[in-house]
Amino acid sequence: MKLLKQFLRYVSNTFLLPQHLRRVHARRHPTRVQIPTDSALLAWILGFAARVHSREELGRLLDRRSLHRLTRRHISADSLARIAAQLDRDCLRAQLLVPLIRRMRRNKLWSPGSIGPFVMVAIDGTEPIRSDHRHCTHCATRTRADGQVEYYHRVVVASTVGTHPRILLDLEPVLPGESEVAAASRLLERLANTFPWLHVFLLDAGFANGPFLAQIHRFGRGFIVRVKDHERRHLLRDAQALAARSQADRWEAAWGHHRLRVHAWDEDGFTSWDSYPGTLRVLIVDEEELPEPATRRRRMPSPGRLCPRAFYVTNLSPGQLPTRALWEAAHHRWNLENTGFHQLKHEFHWNHAFAHQSPGALFNTWLLLAVAFNLFLTFVYRRLRAGRQGNKPLRWLAQELYAALRVAPAEQLPYLAAG
| Cα–Cα distance list, 151 to 127, 137, 140 (Å) | 11, 10, 6
Q: How many beta carbons lie within 10 A of that of residue 398, not counting itself?
A: 20
Task: Express each pLDDT in 171-199 by its tens digit.
Answer: 999 999 999 999 999 999 999 999 999 99
Q: 256 in a domain, yes or no?
A: no
Average pLDDT score over residue span 303-313: 89
Q: Where are the beta strands (DSSP E) in 198-319?
A: 200-203, 222-227, 249-255, 258-270, 280-289, 305-306, 310-314
Task: Express each pLDDT in 33-47 by its tens digit.
Answer: 899 999 999 999 999
Would you say 22 and 38 are in contact if contact means Cβ atoms under 8 Å apart?
Answer: yes
Counting residues of the chain whose pLDDT is more than 90, the rounded percentage is 73
Q: 223 in a domain, yes or no?
A: no
User: Which residue from 44, 79, 28, 108 is spatially nearest to 369, judged by alpha carbons?
Assistant: 44
Q: How confident is the model at residue 417 (pLDDT cuts 50, 70, 90)?
A: very low
- pLDDT surpasses 70 at 298: no
Task: Express each pLDDT in 37-81 by its tens digit.
Answer: 999 999 999 999 999 999 999 999 999 988 988 888 899 999 999
Would you say 120 and 113 are in contact if contact means Cβ atoms under 8 Å apart?
Answer: yes
Strand-strand pairing, 120-131 and 200-203: parallel
Q: Half-sphere exposure (CA, 13 Å, Cβ side) for 26?
A: 25
Q: 409 in a domain, yes or no?
A: yes
Instruction: Please give the tally of structural domains in the chain.
Output: 1
Whole domain around residue 371: which residue ranges? Answer: 2-101+356-418
Q: 137 in a domain, yes or no?
A: no
pLDDT at residue 418, as a whole number: 40
Would you say 159 and 187 are in contact if contact means Cβ atoms under 8 Å apart?
Answer: no
The model carries a pTM of: 0.93
Q: 382 in a domain, yes or no?
A: yes
Task: Express each pLDDT in 112-152 by its tens digit.
Answer: 888 889 999 999 999 999 999 888 989 999 999 898 999 99
Phi, psi of 310, rounded to the nearest 5 degrees: -120, 145
Q: 403 in a domain, yes or no?
A: yes
| Cα–Cα distance list, 94 to 4, 98, 100, 359 (Å) | 27, 5, 10, 19
Q: How confident is the model at residue 385 (pLDDT cuts 50, 70, 90)?
A: confident
Would you say 51 and 347 are in contact if contact means Cβ atoms under 8 Å apart?
Answer: yes
- pLDDT surpasses 70 at 90: yes
Q: 211 in a domain, yes or no?
A: no
Our measurement of the distance from residue 296's CA atom to the centroid of its chain's CA atoms, rounded to an integer in Å, reads 33
Strand partners, 302: 292
Q: What's the residue count for the chain? A: 419
Average pLDDT score over residue span 222-240: 87
Residues 6+ apart with CB under 8 A from 99: 20
Instruction: Compare 256 and 143 and report the one with higher pLDDT.
Output: 143
Average pLDDT score over residue span 289-306: 75
- pLDDT surpasses 50 at 311: yes
Q: 161 in a domain, yes or no?
A: no
The beta-carbon contacts of 56-61 under 8 Å, at least 24 apart in sequence, are: 61/405, 61/406
Question: DSSP H helical segments within 262-306, as ranges?
Answer: none
